[in-house]
Structure 1
Amino acid sequence: MGRTRTYDWEDPGITAAAVGHRSGLDLLRDVRAGLLPRPPIAASLDFTLDVVEHGRAEFSLLPGEEHYNPIGSVHGGVYATLLDSAAGCAVHTTLPAGTGYTSVDLSVKFLRRITVDTGRVRAIGRVLSGGRRTALAEATLVDAEDRLLAHATSTCLLFPLGPAEG
């Protein structure tokens, strides 16, 4: 009666070691092309990086029962992970080599429930404002008919990477 799911991932240290040695846009293009491993969280939740452009990143996920909370819909943490990934990677696409970032905050508004019947969802991240020390990004989570399911804003801290970090 139980259900199972197995998945594989590659060494995340390979991609982490490449951060800082090239622009954020080039790094994410290499991840999307399969030249660098995708992060393990993408394998865990089974989402993909579909679009990478300067100031924009888009992920997609086909909701499954493995994403459910106890009340029979996709857990809010899955929403937040997709939105955080889209917003953060949108910021990452704007960074030159030698610059890193980390999320300072993520504010999420849940607007509609997601179930297996929803179909594929997309998280679309866009940079709203970029500075020398911080960047502001937003992400929207939409269904196949572009209905808004959730919205998020994120502030990211930008910092120079030292030789040991990048």
Structure 2
Amino acid sequence: MGRTRTYEWEDPAVTAAAVGRSSGLDFLRDLRAGRLPVPPLGATLGFTLTEVEHGRAVFSMVPGEEHYNPIGSVHGGVYATLLDSAAGCAVQSTLPPGMGYTSLDLNVKFLRRITVDTGAVRAVGTVINAGRQTALAQAQLLDAADRVLAHATSTCMLFPMTAPSNG
């Protein structure tokens, strides 16, 4: 018999509309505290923003069978999503009001297999260098014993946010 998983999410437009209105750090703190809806991807994969400070962001997840690839372990895309989220949000945490970012690249190195037996994992992202137009960040995916499961670097493009037009 098949297995099922059910989850809910809130309107992503509410969160998207809040980007750039405050500093990136305040925005992420509002997400973490539940003052803004969590993006649907967090519900889909089952990961959450658990820590955030200037230049650092941490996402946590408990791997499940729903994350598996055909060879019986967590799919590399799940690793990459956690690492991209941690690195990108580390960059976002450094941005002043009115500034946004987007990832230009993500270079991932897979070091250890993850299964349901691995237990909780966390992706810790930190900013290496923040310039005026680009930022470089890294992230490590760690298990409960702080073993590195994967490592990534990401370059992010920084840009001023534009106010939405009224027509």
Task: Please give the TM-score of this superposition, normalised by the length of structure 1.
Answer: 0.98
User: For structure 2, which runs of at least 5 residues remain unmatched after alignment?
Assistant: none
User: What's the CA shift for 1:164?
Assistant: 1.4
User: For structure 1, which runs of at least 5 residues remain unmatched after alignment?
Assistant: none
Aligned to 1:33: 33
User: What's the CA shift for 1:101?
Assistant: 0.3
Aligned to 1:79: 79
CA–CA separation in structure 2 for the residues paired with 1:162 and 1:13: 16
Point out the more displaced range, 41-50 or 156-165: 156-165
Q: What are the Cα deviations for residues 60-92 of structure 1, in whole angstroms up to 9, with x where unaligned?
A: 100000000000000000000000000000000
Aligned to 1:160: 160
Identical counterparts, % of pairs: 75
* Runs of 4+ off more than 4 Å: none
CA–CA separation in structure 2 for the residues paired with 1:161 and 1:121: 33
Give the letter aligned to residue 137 of structure 1: A
Q: What are the Cα deviations for residues 1-33 of structure 1, in whole angstroms up to 9, with x where unaligned?
A: 100001000001001000111000000000000
Aligned to 2:140: 140
Q: What are the Cα deviations for residues 109-157 of structure 1, in whole angstroms up to 9, with x where unaligned?
A: 0000000000000000000000000000000000000000000000000
* Alignment length (residue pairs): 165
CA–CA separation in structure 2 for the residues paired with 1:50 and 1:162: 29
User: What's the CA shift for 1:162?
Assistant: 1.1
Q: How does 1:15-164 map to 2 (within 5 A)?
A: 15-164=15-164
CA–CA separation in structure 2 for the residues paired with 1:23 and 1:73: 38
Report the secondary structure of 2:117's partner residue. helix
CA–CA separation in structure 2 for the residues paired with 1:133 and 1:31: 25
Report the secondary structure of 1:6's partner residue. coil
Give the letter aligned to residue 109 of structure 1: K
CA–CA separation in structure 1 for the residues paired with 2:110 and 2:41: 21
User: What's the CA shift for 1:163?
Assistant: 1.0
Task: Please give the TM-score of this superposition, normalised by the length of structure 2.
Answer: 0.98
